[in-house]
Amino acid sequence: MNKKLLLLTLGFIPLGAMELNDQMTISAAQAANTDTVRLQLKDGTREIESCLAHLSQTIKNLIEDVGIDNPIPLDITLDTWKLIHAQLQRIYAIQNETTGDDQVKESLITDIKNLDGESFVALLSVANYLDIPLLYKLMVQHYDKNLTDDHVATLVLDTRKDIIMKDILTKFGPLPAPQASLCKGHTDIINSVKIAGDKLVSGSWDKTIRVWDLDSGKQTALCEGHTEVVTSVKVVGNKIVSCSDDNTVRIWDLDSGKQTTLCKGHTDRVTSVKVAGNKIISSSVDNTIRIWDLASGKQTALCEGHTDRVSSVKVAENKIVSCSWDKTIRVWDLATCKQTALCIGHTGFIASIQIAGDKIVSCSWDNTIRVWDLTSGKQIALCIGHTSRIYSVQVAGDKIVSCSDDNTIRVWDLASGKQTVLCIGHTDQINTIKVVGNKIVSCSDDKTIRVWELTTGKQTALCTGHTLGSVDIW
């Protein structure tokens, strides 16, 4: 929409709070009794006077006479609220028998026919939310203008009913199929993806990094310079940091794709890269972890101690945590690279680690997950249940989530290590998981992405379309 929007989530509960968005709240009682509503914002108090008398009366009517207790999330202008208010006032008049039905209906129909598409969608959403059959039926019957696909899509999404408004779709045309952005350009497997604002950054086996517009899927920049597979990418401000099997770490400009810095020092493939403040931390098959200056690319420290390839590193405040094919986890001081703790217990390659406060959580090809004390390195919990190699582990509050070659996702109690949830549905190994709120998102070699309830393990969504197994989600 072109006009300035006022996002309204009207909770019609007497004396309750009315949410306008994450940063604004007003009192429903205040809105019902004043013509000017004060918005309490993070950056101070502002007043909106235009049209608030209408809005106040509408809220008052609904609270006192209609008894609404359902939220109405809408994305509409103040001018549109004036139109909505007028129609609701007429419905209010019918309910209270203050005027003749015919007179009100005739007035309603006239106004309905004059609505533009945006206002029609907003008003019909209100009618549907408030369950006002008369208004709803009159609008469907008498509105004779064409709605755009966007209006129809918005309308159906805004109804939030279990049953889609079939009569709306019948009259105004089918809802257009949702289209996901497709980013097409890489010529080989994509190893790593990161989102940076309205951009997506990807690194590939084709030795390139590409930047895409997140909405359209169009490529906006191409980073060429690596001579082998790009293993990982990170985005920091307007910089991309990448690592590769060519033994280097490189820094690129996010907008132009031009290489700005080259970090050389590793003597074998670089497996992962992290950024902490003005430092880059990289791990390698050469058994080392190296720290680089983000601005200059110069190596400032070297962490030595692992006896096999370092598969991953994490950073927590002033500590680096690394895991290795030598079956150990090591903790290092970020400033000096001095080893401060050693975690021994896994009997197979360690695939992934996470830091959870003062704890380290690790998963391994020995089919186990282990929890360690970050300071001492002592094991404090053991999670047993997977029947094959574990590839990824995530921490969500007091829960651990893991995925495995046994085609399952399991949820564990962080303190005790006991399994609490089992997610079954994938038909091939699960490569990566992410926890988003109360959802788990997983990707698998079965070519699907699935969404699960964190607390129950129930599958809630299935995403198909890939023609090969997916290796990363973000």
Domain ranges of the chain: 6-172, 353-474
Q: Are 22 and 85 in contact (CB under 8 A)?
A: no
Question: What are the pLDDT digits (tens) for 306-325?
Answer: 999 999 999 988 999 999 99
CA–CA distance, 11 with 323 (Å, rounded to integer) = 50
Q: Are 291 and 301 in contact (CB under 8 A)?
A: yes
Instruction: For residue 432, give the amino acid letter.
Output: T
The reported pLDDT for the residue numbered 254 is 95
Which of 191, 146, 189, 139 has its CA nearest to residue 165?
A: 139
Q: Are 302 and 287 in contact (CB under 8 A)?
A: no
Extract the tokens encoding 325: 């094919």
Which of 239, 188, 231, 249 has its CA nearest to residue 211?
A: 239
CATH of domain 353-474: 2.130.10.10
Element (H, E) at 421: strand 419-424
The reported pLDDT for the residue numbered 418 is 95
Extract the tokens encoding 103: 């007179």
Which of 293, 275, 187 has its CA nearest to residue 230?
A: 187
Please calculate the CA angle 347-231-390 and round it to the nearest 5 degrees.
30
Q: Are 315 and 289 in contact (CB under 8 A)?
A: no
Extract the tokens encoding 8: 């309204």
What is the mean pLDDT, run by run of 10 residues, along the chain of 474 residues?
26 29 34 34 33 42 39 44 58 52 69 75 62 64 67 48 43 48 82 86 93 88 96 94 96 96 96 94 96 95 96 92 96 95 96 93 95 96 95 93 94 95 91 88 84 91 68 52
Beta bridge partners of 390: 404
Q: Are 293 and 257 in contact (CB under 8 A)?
A: no
Q: Are 359 and 397 in contact (CB under 8 A)?
A: no
CA–CA distance, 389 with 431 (Å, rounded to integer) = 10
DSSP code of residue 64: I
Give the sign of the dihedral formed by CA 403, CA 408, CA 411, CA 414. Answer: negative
pTM over 0.75: no
Strands (E), 58-183: 72-76
Q: Are 151 and 117 in contact (CB under 8 A)?
A: yes
